[in-house]
Copies of this chain bind each other. A is one copy, B any other.
């Protein structure tokens, strides 16, 4: 009993999703343990796209492939938690530049470190050579996907 469907092997989707989710929970779990317990995975959209000298909300939203309202929500939460500040844009009176605070910078550094850590731990299990090949292939894949099959493309 409990017949599995015959042709349902592992789809590419699950092969990508599985390690991605493992990484996410490992990284954001460890981040919380380091004291950054008010940063959630969604907030990484900000850290991923902010420039060292600040970035306007609209630009952040564009880069992350989401609406400015959604981005405003994320930025707001991070600003209230002390990771970001907003300064007036000298070039444009309507705009505000979003900037990382010192603490925001620390959080981003931690985020990058933890991600690298996770990759190292995987490399230990998979073998350094295979991990390197995997990374190379994923980079090639990303290049190929960027000019994407169907128009719909973000982040």
A12 touching B112 by the CB < 8 A rule? no
A122 touching B135 by the CB < 8 A rule? no
A94 proximal to B (CB < 8 A): no
Contact with B along A116-155 (1 / 0, CB 8 A): 1011011001100010011101111110111011101111
A2 touching B144 by the CB < 8 A rule? no
> What is the count of identical protomers in the complex?
2
The 7 A-B pairs of least Cβ separation, nearest first, read: A15-B138, A3-B52, A16-B20, A25-B152, A134-B137, A125-B144, A26-B150
Q: How many residues on the A side are at the interface (Cβ–Cβ under 8 A)?
A: 63
Chain B residues with CB below 8 A from A74, complex form: none
Taken together as a complex, chains A and B put the C-alpha atoms of A146 and B18 apart, in Å, by 8
Q: What is the CB-to-nearest-CB distance from A5 to chain B, in angstroms, rounded to a whole number? A: 5
B3 touching A53 by the CB < 8 A rule? yes
Contact with B along A79-104 (1 / 0, CB 8 A): 00000000000000000000000000
